[in-house]
Amino acid sequence: MISPAILVEHVTVHYGEVLALDAASVALEPARICGLVGMNGSGKSTLFKVIMGMIKPDAGTVRINGQSPSRARKQGGIGYVPQSEDVDWQFPLSVRDVVMMGRYGHQGFTRRASKADRAAVDEALDRVELGPYAGRQIGQLSGGQKKRAFVARGIAQGATTMLLDEPFAGVDKRSEATITRLLRELASDGCTILVSTHDLHALPQLCDEAILLMHKVLMHGPPEVVLQPENLAMAFGLDVLNSELPEGNVPDRNVPAPGITAPDLTAPAAERGNH
Amino acid sequence: MELLLEPLGYDFMVRALVTTALAAVVCAVLSCWLVLIGWSLMGDAVSHAVLPGVVLAYIVGAPFALGALVFALVAVTLIGVVRNTSRVKEDAAIGIVFSSLFALGLVLISVTPSQTDLNHIIFGNLLGVSIPDLIQVLVLGVVAFAILILKRRDLTLYAFDPIHAHAIGLSPKRLGALLLGLLALTSVVALQTVGVVLVVAMLIIPGATAYLLTDRFSRMLVIAPVISAVCSLAGIYISYYLDTASGAMVVLTQGVVFAVVYLFSPRQGLIGTRLAKARRRKAAALAV
């Protein structure tokens, strides 16, 4: 049996009187991509914070590759891609500056970049196909490019566990496909990836497994099963069936989404990178 | 040239210029982070709240910086406590705490028999900088400057993405505390120059001005101190020849330069961006 890359055992978290996580348990094997599905306020961000060790749970334990979160952080193993609304896009930093921040854990007191650091940053930028945009101020990227810049930060960091908060919010179909392909590549290189998302359509193409969260882990299994309408109804209430899944069924991962096969000409010009 | 050299004949003017230039540079470097994190109000608060610390240090004969640091810490703690344990929002908490501590400082000054003039602490005493004052400002200023520059990348990371800082094993709490400590130190440095009331200007205007001029933080760290130092020296010369309050003139000069940049910056300026657009349109028309 492989030891889990992310192990959350019976974790309970309260904010004052409010219960955010109720004895939640998750075991995620290495090199898997897992989608974390749940309503706003279902405890998704709390779970992320617990895994990163930003919140000490009232009860329960967390292990990253068998280590405590603080050990794992010190070793640079945990990469984090923030939600778009949590980032100050006006901040005067270039794409390269942001990716370089992934290297800080490997650097000395003043974080002066070595040749190896620069090479790692260049490689990460190439990998997410942002090489030509390295000098741009981060706010001047399209929605999908912004996400890829932060994924590149995790790659430059050498993260073996990546947490992505709503990576598909504000991203068009074409970039969604690009990000999906990128994350699948990272997973096949051995990176364990946990993705919180509202975008149920993207899940089956992206994820090996999915978790349905509503303070507790309601269900953890293959996305095709977790995303069955009757299961989703447990986490979202019944109205989700009409609002989120208009076709009434979930696309299969083996059937490519339209964005992957044909270039989506309706994508805004910014998304194709010519502004 | 004559105009520039004449004031240098007076020792007190030389000391004023050196102190101001140093304070201007240190404040400007710090201001780059303050304006980006949104801590301008915090800068205002801490720079006022150090007053009782400075007065108490004066009474017991301790270094000003120590008293200032202690009260900066007290202020920040109180603000946090009021915000977190009541329904009062942060801006109100900051206002309550800093004005109360400032008032406490004023009261302490009024009951302390001393040669230190109240006005000198409130509005600065640029032209009366003594040699020991100068040495203290030099030491504190150089220490604050060195730490800011050595830790600039960590501080920028803290300002931009504290969660990532945490995720890679750094402590955002410690970085925040470091920045607040440096804010307290810098306040003491600038206090001598422009006084408590106007310190906040030196802690905000240069960073804000530089932010309108560039998209690179590393360049902000050069532009802000250069602008600030030039404005400050210009302010002192102007005050020398027009016989106006020197600290106030320094701040006024910085304010005027900000206004010019705000209007004419090619990237962000109100008029500057329009001019650039018109120029592009003209070029496009010619190309057709």
What is the predicted ipTM? 0.84
Q: Are B49 and B98 in contact (CB under 8 A)?
A: yes
B235 versus A198: which is more confidently predicted?
A: B235
Q: For residue range B11-20, list pLDDT tens digits in order.
A: 888 888 888 8
Instruction: Report CB contact under 8 Å: A82, B161.
Output: yes
Mean pLDDT, chain B, as a whole number?
87
Q: Are B43 and B235 in contact (CB under 8 A)?
A: no
Instruction: Answer yes or no: is pLDDT of A266 > 50.
Output: no
Instruction: Answer yes or no: is pLDDT of A262 > 50.
Output: no
The pLDDT confidence band at residue A1, using thresholds 50, 70 and 90, is: low
Instruction: Answer yes or no: is pLDDT of A263 > 50.
Output: no
What is the reported pLDDT for A274?
A: 40
Q: How far is CA A58 from CA B64, B122, B222, in A?
A: 43, 49, 47
- For a pLDDT cut of 90, what percent of chain A falls above it? 52
Q: How far is CA A69 from CA A5, A6, A273, B152, in A?
A: 11, 10, 38, 26
What is the reported pLDDT for A154?
A: 94
**B38: closest chain A residue by CA:** A88
Instruction: Answer yes or no: is pLDDT of A72 > 80.
Output: yes
| Residues from chain A contacting residue B215 (CB–CB below 8 Å) | 92, 94, 137
Taking the C-alpha atoms of residue B39 and residue B72, their distance in angstroms, rounded to an integer, is 14
Instruction: Answer yes or no: is pLDDT of A157 > 80.
Output: yes
Taking the C-alpha atoms of residue B21 and residue A244, their distance in angstroms, rounded to an integer, is 61
Q: For residue range A2-32, list pLDDT tens digits in order.
A: 678 999 999 999 988 889 999 999 999 999 9
Instruction: Answer yes or no: is pLDDT of A81 > 50.
Output: yes
Nearest to A73 among B167, B216, B217 (CB): B167
Instruction: Answer yes or no: is pLDDT of A203 > 80.
Output: yes
Instruction: Report CB contact under 8 Å: B163, A79.
Output: no
Taking the C-alpha atoms of residue B278 and residue B285, their distance in angstroms, rounded to an integer, is 10
Instruction: Answer yes or no: is pLDDT of A244 > 70.
Output: no
What is the reported pLDDT for A252?
A: 44
What is the reported pLDDT for A259?
A: 36
Averaged pLDDT, A146-174: 92
What is the reported pLDDT for B287?
A: 76
The pLDDT confidence band at residue A264, using thresholds 50, 70 and 90, is: very low
What is the reported pLDDT for A180?
A: 92
Q: Which of A30, A194, A146 is nearest to B167 (CA)?
A: A194
Mapped to the 3 state alphabet, what secondary structure does B9-57 carry? HCHHHHHHHHHHHHHHHHHHHHHHHHHHHCCHHHHHHHHHHCHHHHHHH
| Residue A10, H or E segment | strand A6-15
pTM (global) more than 0.95: no
Instruction: Report CB contact under 8 Å: A87, B161.
Output: yes
A-side interface with B, Cβ within 8 Å? 52-54, 70, 73-76, 78-80, 82, 86-88, 91-94, 97-98, 101-102, 104-105, 109-111, 137, 153, 157
Residues of chain B with pLDDT under 70: 114-118, 288
Averaged pLDDT, A71-78: 88
